[in-house]
Amino acid sequence: MADFPPLSSAIRNNLLASYKTQRLIDDTTLRLASGLDVSSALDNPDNFFTSKALKFRADDLSRRLDGMAQSIRALEEADNGIQASLELLDLADSYLLDMLERYNAGEFEFADGAPINITPIRPNAGDFIGYAGSQDSGAPVTVTNDGEDFTLAGNLWKRLFIDYTITPDTVLEFEYASTTTPEISAIGFDNDSAFNNDSDRFFLNGTQFIGVPYSASIPTYQYTGAGAYQSYSIPVGAFFTGNFDYITFINDDDLTPTGNAMFRNVSLREGPIELAPPAAAPLQEGYEYILKQLNQLAEDAHYRGIQLLKDENLEVIFNENGSSKLLIEGINGSANGLGLLSGDLNSIKAIEEEIDEIKKAREILRAFGTTIASDLGIIQTRQTFTRATINTLLRGADDLTVADQNEEGANLLALQTRQTLGQTALSLSLQGAGSILNLFA
- Residue 156: predicted pLDDT: 95
pTM of model > 0.85: no
Distance, CA of 97 to CA of 89 (rounded, Å): 12
Q: Point out the residues of the chain with pLDDT beneath 50.
A: 112
125 close to 145: Cβ distance less than 8 angstroms: no
Per-residue pLDDT of 182-210, as tens digits, reads: 999 999 999 999 888 788 999 999 999 99
Report the first-to-last Cα separation within the chain, whole angstroms. 26
For residue 393, the surrounding DSSP H or E stretch is: helix 348-401
Greatest alpha-carbon pair distance for the chain in Å reads: 178
Phi, psi for 119 (deg, rounded to 5): -110, 100
Distance, CA of 298 to CA of 337 (rounded, Å): 10
Eight-state DSSP code of residue 332: B
Q: How many CB atoms lie within 10 A of CB 349?
A: 10
Picking from 251, 247, 259, 228, the residue whose alpha carbon sits closest to that of residue 122 is 247
**Identity (one letter) of the amino acid at 39?**
S
**Identity (one letter) of the amino acid at 117?**
N
**Identity (one letter) of the amino acid at 350?**
A
The helix/strand/coil state of 64 is: helix
Distance, CA of 147 to CA of 242 (rounded, Å): 26
Distance, CA of 239 to CA of 214 (rounded, Å): 10
266 Cβ contact list (under 8 Å, min separation 6) = 120, 121, 172, 173, 174, 247
Distance, CA of 212 to CA of 184 (rounded, Å): 9
- Residue 46: predicted pLDDT: 84
Q: How many CB atoms lie within 10 A of CB 202?
A: 22
- Residue 441: predicted pLDDT: 53
Domains of the chain, first to last: 60-105+280-392 (1.20.1330.10), 118-270 (2.60.120)
- Residue 195: predicted pLDDT: 85
For the packed helices 45-104 and 348-401, what is the interaxial angle rounded to 10 degrees?
170
74 close to 303: Cβ distance less than 8 angstroms: yes
Q: How many CA atoms lie within 13 A of 2 on its CB side?
A: 2
What DSSP string runs through 118-152? EEE----GGG-EE-SGGGS--PPPEEEGGGTEEEE
Per-residue pLDDT of 207-219, as tens digits, reads: 999 989 999 999 9
41 close to 49: Cβ distance less than 8 angstroms: yes
- Residue 405: predicted pLDDT: 60
